[in-house]
Amino acid sequence: MLMHMPTRQELKDTQSERDHRGIAIDRVGIKNLKYPIRVKEKNGSGQETVATITLTVDLPHEFKGTHMSRFLEVISNWGFELASDSIGGILPALMERLDSERAHIDIEFPFFIEKEAPVTGAKGLMDYVVRFNATGEADHVDLVTTVEVHVTTLCPCSKAISTRGAHNQRGVVTLAVRTNGFVWVEDLISLVEEAASSELYSLLKRPDEKAVTERAYDNPVFVEDLVRNIAMKVKEEERITWYRVEAENFESIHNHNAYAMIEKHNGDSSSPSRGSGEE
């Protein structure tokens, strides 16, 4: 006996039924999708990594639900190559496939850079967090690129009042930017690291440790100094039109963290708000 398999036309499409509550949904879709990607690198090669992806669209009030499988179809057709100048291309496909007026894609992934220790040249991989958050509507795409960079900061006050050393700590800087042109992730990371007391390394021998420690001692920065240093560097980059920089120091002599943030359109010369007032 042969079983009858229903055709596509015979299967009930519940998602497309009418909803009578009159409430539109701002974002609906899939979240926490793990997906392999290949990221462009400044040196001309590509880096394979795994991204965590969220894909969403708006849902008009008259529809009961969206078709979740279509998000996977779009991302599968998109492929594995990724760069900030091409990520917006997926948004029109989402809007067309899901019959929506607005689409969003949020991508987060670890990005690795090989770094050489400052004295011995020992090589090791440093990991960074990179995020692309893009929204598409009609012919416009709004893209925010974010990097999370861990750094070393040494306290200027501690150095000024202590006869033996000064307390330092590891901190994390989160730099988010909008741009009017292509900007390499590596350049954003370097911009942050150059503003700190010292950058971090995964592999250090004793001569390297001495050099990094002394570099931090010679370049003390408060968390306020750190965000201002970065803001000054951002001002020099004409391709950045807006930025938000946050710094959080994991204090080594307190059980709380120090924090500072600046958010501006690039070219805005107004003074930053008053800092956190470390004492």
User: What pLDDT is recorded for position 1?
Assistant: 56
* Segment 174-189, tens digit of pLDDT: 999 999 999 999 999 9
- Please give the C-alpha separations between residue 57 and each of 28, 99, 121, 133, 144, in angstroms, as whole numbers: 6, 9, 48, 13, 18
* Segment 212-236, tens digit of pLDDT: 999 999 999 999 999 999 999 999 9
User: What pLDDT is recorded for position 87?
Assistant: 79
Residue 94 to residue 21: CA distance in whole angstroms: 25
pLDDT of residue 246 exceeding 80: yes
* Segment 31-50, tens digit of pLDDT: 999 999 999 899 988 899 99
Indicate the pLDDT class of residue 269, thresholds 50, 70 and 90.
low
Q: What is the mean pLDDT of residues 116-121?
A: 97
Indicate the pLDDT class of residue 16, thresholds 50, 70 and 90.
low
pLDDT of residue 77 exceeding 60: yes
Average pLDDT, the chain: 89
User: What pLDDT is recorded for position 67?
Assistant: 82
CA end-to-end distance (rounded Å), the chain: 84
Q: What is the mean pLDDT of residues 102-120?
A: 96
pLDDT of residue 279 exceeding 50: no
Tell me, what DSSP letter sits at residue 7? P
Q: Cβ(94)–Cβ(71) under 8 Å?
A: yes
Domains, the chain, in order of start with CATH, read 25-265 (3.10.270.10)
Q: What is the 3-state secondary structure (H, E, C) of 125-182?
A: EEEEEEEEEEEEECCEEEEEEEEEEEEEEECHHHHHHCCCCCCEEEEEEEEEEEECCC
Greater confidence (278 vs 187) lies with 187
Q: What is the mean pLDDT of residues 158-166?
A: 93
Task: Output the DSSP codes for 10-38.
Answer: GS--GGGSB--S---EEEEEEEEEEEEEE
